[in-house]
Structure formats: C-alpha cells, structure tokens
Chains A and B, each alone.
Chain A
Amino acid sequence: MQAEPAKQAAADSDSKYDEDIFDPSLNLEETHVKEGYKDGFHDGLVLGQQEGREVGLKVGFEVGEEIGFYCGCVDVWNSAIQAKSSCFTPHVQKNVKQMEELIKRYPILDPENESVQDIMDSLRAKFKAVSASLSISSSSSMKLEYDGLLKSSGANDLEF
C-alpha cells in the first residue's frame, strides 16, 4: 500500500515534468520577444532623443535665424518710415506693418502649433513683395534676399 503514494508521487512529478517540457520552449520564444522589445525600446528611445535633439537644434536655428532676419528688416524699415514716410508707398508701409504683426504672432515657444507654417509662408510672401517694391524704387539692381546660413552653405554638411 505504501508503494502507491510513491508511484503516485512519481507519476505526478512525471506529469508536471511533461508540462514543463513544453512550457519553457513556448515561453522561450515569448521571453525572447519580450527581451528584444525591451532592448529595442530602450535603444530606440536613446537614438530618438539624440536625433530629436539634433533635428530640433537644426530646425530651431533655421526658424530662429529666419524670424530674426525678418525682425531686423522690419525694425530697419520702421525706423526709415518714421524718419521719412514719404519715401515709402502706402502699400509698402502696410506690408511692413503686417510683417510686424505676423512676427509677434509666431509661436516661437510652441513648435507644434499648427500655424507655424502658415505664418512663415505669409512672412516670406510679404518679404518678397516689400523687397520687390523697394528694389524697383531704388533703381539699383540690388536684390534683397534671405539667405539662411544653412541654405547658403550646403545644409547637410554642418554638424550640430
């Protein structure tokens, strides 16, 4: 009678062992997938942050430089208009004023704001209109253009 519980126990441990044979092999795939995912997520996070910093710095510089350029132009033009407004047609004065308002409205601290591209496009268009008018009236062949540092020097070679 004593042999039976032992046999039972042996049988029990056998069946447990049977279950375990398959479990680890199934789990092996799953655990490896999980581990790989964890590694990838971690590495991706590191690389993503790195790239984000690089791209953010580059784009931030470009945007800042362009907005700053228009800001400088508007300041100079405003001073000139104040000094002798008769030298500037009403259209030019109006466009300069509109550029000023657009610059104020540009959400420089909120890059995910949807209006960034529209405001930049409007600024570029108004800048072209003003510089075209000014270069006609100055009767010189000098053309005022915005040449960003990155644009003019072959952007992709610069390392940030």
Chain B
Amino acid sequence: MELIDGNLQLKEIQKLEGHTDRVWSLAWNPATGVAGIPAMLASCSGDKTVRIWQQTPSGRSSGSWDCKAVLEETHTRTVRSCAWSPSGKLLATASFDATIGIWEQIGNDFECISTLEGHENEVKSVSWNSSGSLLATCSRDKSVWIWEVLPGNEFECVSVLQGHTQDVKMVQWHPSVDVLFSCSYDNTVKIWAEDGDSDDWHCVQTLGEPNNGHSSTVWALSFNSTGDKMVTSSDDLTLKIWGTDRQAMNDGFAPWEGVIASGAADDAIRLFVENKDGSIDGPSYNMLLKKEKAHDMDVNSVQWNNTETSLLASASDDGTVKIWEFASVP
C-alpha cells in the first residue's frame, strides 16, 4: 500500500461473498445508515441476481454485514446496474435482458412491482433524479430513455434520446438540478436538459475530444455533493475533473469530503484528492493512496456510503463485494 499524504489508509472491513459470477455494480440505500437504521447495500451481478446486504444493528463500522435478500428469478440475464430511489423505497435494476426491474421492499422481502421494456438490447445503467420523479436508463442500443414516475409506482416513457453514436455506458442525474449526463463508448459525455417551453429533452452539450474530452470509452461519471464538479473515468486510463460555472460553498472541512475513489482493471482502488495548496495554473489533484490487489480481479465499481462517508464499497469480477473504511492510521 502506497501513501502519499501520510497517515490515511483504506482498511478492509469485510468481504461479502455469495454472488456466483462477477459483481458489476453497487448502490447504498440513501435512507439507511442514519437514525438508527443500519446501512443497506445492493449489489448486482452476472449471475442474474441482485443481493441486498445489511449491517447488523450492533455497530457502525464494527457491525458485520449479512445478506438480507436475493432478488432472483426475474431478470434472465446479467444485472448490470442498480439504483435506489432517493426515498430508499424503490430499487431499479438494469439488465442485459433489455428490461429494467423496479423492486419494492415488502416486509423482509423484495418484490418486483414493475418491468420497464423498450430498449432494444442490453440496458447498461439506471439513475434516479434528486426528487425521485424521473428515472433515466441507457443501453447498447445507443439511446437514453427518460421515464416519469407516476402515482401508484407506474412508469411512463417520456422521451427517447438519440445522439450517442455507440453503446451508452452510464447515465447519472445531476445531484440537484434535473439535468442528465450520459457517457459512452463513442468517447463523449452528453448533457441533456428539458427545453423550458416545449417540454422536450435534447442534448445541450457534448464533452468530446475537441473540448479536452477523453480519447477512449468513457465508462463512468460521478458528481461531488454540491454538484459543481464532475469526475469521469475512461478507457484512456485517465480521470478527468469537470467544473461548471457555479460556485461551491464549503462550510465545514471533512478530511474525506471530495475524495475521488476509482476502481480499475488492475485490481486496485485509488483515492484522489484536490491539492488544496493551490497551484498557479488552476486546481490540481493528487493520488492520496493506492490499494493494490484490493480484489483478485478487476474492480468494476466503487461507491462511497453517502451518510457515512468513511465507508467505501467495491465490486469486482472476482464475485465479491468488499466494505472498506477510510481512516487515519491509529
């Protein structure tokens, strides 16, 4: 383990086993990990299932994690991505079987209350907007779909957005504004917004090679909590940080706020942070730490726990999920 900034480490808390194929993605339930509710995590896999893991109520980082439920016998192919609605009540799952599953927790079980069809082939990603009123999905069919959530957990397709020229890998809503971001095998990130007058969604900006964009597939994107910065990761082996013109207000300073975690095909997890000492030319980022051999195989996804930002979960081709604690060395 290499450290650049001294006494910080990524400590493995637990390894969650159970999936029988690679784990593609994870999502922390945003309504858990607060007010005495133990933290809950969903992981989705090539084994066509989604597993729900929950920490036993006994402790914070010390409590152990158990598999609470297995969502199976619904998707007929790999589940590639999953996302909780902001209320934590619904879980959306995106599958290679070209459908999106909407699940609700009923008692101790999860039931699939709706299946959204429409994409022509593998659905790669799903994302809820900040108010939970819209759901975005994207697919290898190069399109991005926006669905509206209607009363009674009904879904209606509002728009089919064409624009990407290749497989769309991920969609993410901005954390506060209803603006949608998508990234693709065509090396670009596209930004979609609603036209105020005609209620139509269209692409308002494309971040490609001409504007300092990536030179290969853009696999993922993520926002900081204030939404004024976005980081994208790419097959070109770089992470790029993008800013908007809005100013961020930073009241408190938490040591791990604004830390970027990335998982890579070299089995390692890296953490990056902005160099606050400032440089003359503009912001710069340093690698804070590198956890080699975090998994036995490619790390497909990393997610910070939104309520307890010192916890990080990672998903890997080795079929496991790991929970890490980011803390100072005692």
Contacts and interface: CB of A to CB of B under 8 A. Distances in A.
Interface of A: 89, 91-92, 94, 98, 121, 124-126, 128-133, 135-137, 143
Nearest to B159: A129
Interface SS of chain B: strand
A129 B117 contact: no
A151 to B, nearest CB: 13
B155 A136 contact: yes
A89 B156 contact: yes
Interface residues of B, number: 18
B154 interface: yes
B117 A91 contact: no
Residue among B143, B158, B200 with most chain A CB within 10 A: B158
B199 interface: yes
B71 interface: no
Contacts of A128: 118, 143, 157, 160
B13 interface: no
Given A128-B118, A135-B117, A94 B199 contact: yes
Contacts, number: 47
A58 B162 CA distance: 26
B111 interface: no
B143 A125 contact: yes
A143 B117 contact: yes
B157 A129 contact: yes
A36 B200 CA distance: 58
Contact of A125 (B154, B155, B161): B161
A130 B158 CA distance: 8
Given A89-B150, A91-B156, 7 more contacts: A91-B157, A121-B162, A125-B143, A132-B116, A132-B117, A136-B155, A136-B156
A125 B142 CA distance: 12
A133 B157 contact: yes
B160 A126 contact: yes
Contacts of B116: 132, 136
Nearest to A125: B160
Interface SS of chain A: helix
A41 to B, nearest CB: 38
B148 interface: yes
21 contacts: A89-B156, A91-B148, A91-B156, A92-B156, A94-B199, A125-B159, A125-B160, A125-B161, A126-B160, A128-B118, A128-B143, A129-B158, A129-B159, A130-B157, A132-B117, A132-B160, A133-B157, A136-B154, A136-B155, A137-B154, A143-B117
Interface in B161-206: 161-162, 199-200
A98 B154 CA distance: 23
Contacts of A132: 116-118, 145, 157, 160
A123 to B, nearest CB: 11
Contacts of B156: 89, 91-92, 133, 136-137
A65 B156 CA distance: 28
A143 B118 CA distance: 9
B164 to A, nearest CB: 12
A123 B249 CA distance: 44
Nearest to A92: B156
Contacts of A129: 118, 145, 157-160
Interface in B126-159: 143, 145, 148, 150, 154-159
A79 to B, nearest CB: 21
A101 to B, nearest CB: 11
Contacts of B155: 136
A43 to B, nearest CB: 38
A132 B154 CA distance: 13
Contacts of B160: 125-126, 128-129, 132
Contacts of A136: 116-117, 154-157
